[in-house]
Amino acid sequence: MDTRRQEKGAQLKLLFEPRSVAVIGASSKKGKIGYEILRNIVDGQFTGPIYPINPHEKAILDLKVYPSIIDVPTIVDTCIITVPPQAVPQVLLECGRKKVKGAVVISAGFGEIGNFALEKKVLESALECGIRLIGPNCAGIINTENRLYATIESRIASGSIAFITQSGALGGAVLAWAREQGMGFSKFISYGNRSDVNEAELLEYLLEDQQTKVIAVYIEGLRDGRRFLSTAQRVGMVKPVLAIKSGSSKEGSRATLSHTGALAGSDKIYDGAFHQAGIIRADDVDDLLDMAKTLSSQPPSGGGRIGVVTNSGGPGVMVVDALAKLGLKANEPSAETKDRLAFLPDRCSRNNPIDLTVETDPDYYERTLRILADSDDFDALVVVYVPPAFLKSEPISEAVLRARRAASKPFVACFMAGDLVREGVKVLESGGIPNLPTPKRAAKAVWALVERDRYLKSVA
């Protein structure tokens, strides 16, 4: 990597990990973007100084307001810009005079509505001043490590998943959804029109980011596809990269073109290129989050032989069906393993899915899972549990966690009864086992672990 590139990378790191942050266009009016972002940064308890900038205000949220970025007494590393679009170039030049390192431009009204000349001017201003720029037309950034919630979107908890998104609104929906599920993120980056910083550079930053274990991306169209793919390929050797690629249909592609001015390209071409670059493709937002949480908590699956343990035949068979559709195999246990399962009562099935039946108990789950994890028969295990309405699921979760701790293979859970298993799912997930609420989603999560292994072996 050349020096110029290293320098740009270091600057980008500072943009996400600033010593101080300013909101240019801060407002005292609730509901205004310039107010809501400032409030989010303040309420989020950012670890450094926060400077609201507005020539017409004295104080907002008990913070002293400065008329211009020039007037701020200390160093400012990152500016969040929410001024009207035509004012952005001038604001960037002022940031340049202040030696600001990075700017996140929330303001919209550029290329996305055909205003390409103004967007060009914004980029030129940033380049002229040596400022790295995220956006414009973006929903902001989050770094949970230093509690920087520079966005109008939900404040997500800390975790190991980084999410970068071309669509700000979709990013917001994903954040809200992830928060509702109790998931945590390391970084959230809405990159909007990506005048300057693009997907490939963001991947490079996240490759180095210690907090990030899995990278999830929502892409509408790529500007420099070749660089993105080669970067993803390299990043993927260290951390899994997942992506939703939208605009994949003819109609969707046309719509993307009018929405961001980016070329969406043919779906099949993306499919092949993503596969080769080790990017695991998701086909919906739940799928993206399911696979991200699974890859962030489980090791890759050494192969596609999957053991299924259940307390109910039907859901177990549904998992087996869904695995088969994804090319995975719920093979029979070996004779030796069946022998070791002889302790199970006659009513239980020792074929795959291994059915402990409705009258099961935590001990049966633990012993069975330990035997399967010990055996050479399976590469990963799916644990299905559907409790009768009057039984708690927490003791089963504890048993599954005990078996997991003694094992090196990945476990994926499918506890399946909505609010009846809510507490059990909390126990499982806080213990590091992902729960997927339906058979098909559980199978897809396991598939991601197999795909991850396949890619790592292909580049080894």
Q: Which is nearer to a copy of itself, 50 or 318 (CB)?
A: 318
Of 102 and 353, which has the nearer Cβ to a copy of itself?
353
b/e map 125-154, b = 16+ CB within 10 Å: bbeebebbbbbbbbbbbbbbbebbbbbbbb
Count residues near a copy of itself (CB under 8 A): 87
CB of 36 to a copy of itself, least distance (A): 5
Of the candidate residues 55, 419, 458, 460, the single one contacting a copy of itself (CB under 8 A):
419
Residue for token digits 């909390």?
A: 426
Among the listed ranges 50-58, 77-85, 198-206, 439-447, the one in contact with a copy of itself (CB under 8 A) is 439-447
Q: Pairing relation of β-strands 241-245 and 157-165?
A: unpaired
CA dist 188 and 36 (Å) reads 17
Closest CA to 57 of 28, 79, 32: 28
| Residue 261 binds to a copy of itself (criterion: CB under 8 A) | no
Of 9 and 184, which has the nearer Cβ to a copy of itself?
Answer: 184
Residue choice 75, 324, 406, 459 for contact with a copy of itself (CB under 8 A): 324
Rank residues 10 and 391 by Cβ distance to a copy of itself and give the closer one.
391
CB of 263 to a copy of itself, least distance (A): 13
78 vs 108: CA distance, rounded Å? 19
Q: How far is the CB of 237 from a copy of itself (least distance, A)?
A: 29
Stretch that binds a copy of itself, among 58-66, 90-98, 344-352, 400-408 (CB under 8 A): 344-352
Short-list 305, 335, 192, 214, CA closest to 259: 192
CB of 152 to a copy of itself, least distance (A): 5
Task: Check binding of 11 to a copy of itself (CB under 8 A).
Answer: no
27 binds a copy of itself (CB under 8 A): no
Mind giving me the DSSP string for 131-142? -EEE-SS--EEE
CB of 64 to a copy of itself, least distance (A): 24
Residue 146 or 177: the one with the smaller Cβ distance to a copy of itself is 177
Beta strands 184-190; 50-53: pairing state: unpaired
29 binds a copy of itself (CB under 8 A): no
* x/- map, 345-384, a copy of itself, by CB under 8 A: -xx-x-xxx-x--x--------------------------
Closest approach, Cβ 394 to a copy of itself, in A, equals 15
Among 107, 195, 212, 311, binds a copy of itself (CB under 8 A): 311
| Alpha helix positions (H), 26-115 | 33-43, 88-97
Return the number of the residue (131 or 183) whose C-beta is nearest a copy of itself: 183
Q: Is 420 in the site for a copy of itself (CB under 8 A)?
A: yes
Nearer to a copy of itself, 49 or 313 (CB): 313
Look at strands 306-310 and 279-281 and give their pairing. unpaired
Query: Side-chain half-sphere of 431: how many Cα atoms within 13 Å?
Result: 23
CB of 192 to a copy of itself, least distance (A): 11
| Residue 143 binds a copy of itself (CB under 8 A) | no
Sign, CA dihedral 335-336-337-341, equals positive
- For residue 366, give Cα distances in angstroms to 125, 246, 371, 416: 62, 42, 9, 19
- Eight-class DSSP state of 191: -
Lookup: tokens for 109: 């009204």
Question: Whose Cβ is closer to a copy of itself: residue 36's or residue 374's?
Answer: 36
Q: Which residues 168-227 are close enough to bind a copy of itself by CB under 8 A?
A: 168-170, 172-173, 176-181, 218, 220
Q: Which amino acid is at 122?
A: V
The interface with a copy of itself within residues 41-100 (CB under 8 A) comprises none
Tell me which of 75, 113, 238, 269 binds a copy of itself, using CB under 8 A: 113
List the structure tokens of 144. Answer: 């949970």
One symbol per residue from 122 to 141: x for binding a copy of itself (CB under 8 A), - otherwise; what is it?
--------------------
Alpha carbon distances (Å) from 172 to 10, 86, 138, 141, 288:
27, 26, 11, 11, 14
Q: Which of 193, 163, 170 is nearest to 262 (CA)?
A: 193
Q: Chain centroid to CA 329: how far?
A: 28
Beta carbons of 22 and 53 less than 8 angstroms apart:
yes
401: closest CA among 426, 378, 379, 376?
426
For residue 258, state whether it binds a copy of itself (rule: CB under 8 A): yes
Least separation in angstroms between CB 171 and a copy of itself: 8
* Residue 407 binding a copy of itself, by CB under 8 A: no
**Does 250 interact with a copy of itself (rule: CB under 8 A)?**
yes
Binders of a copy of itself among 152-171, rule CB under 8 A? 152-154, 165-170
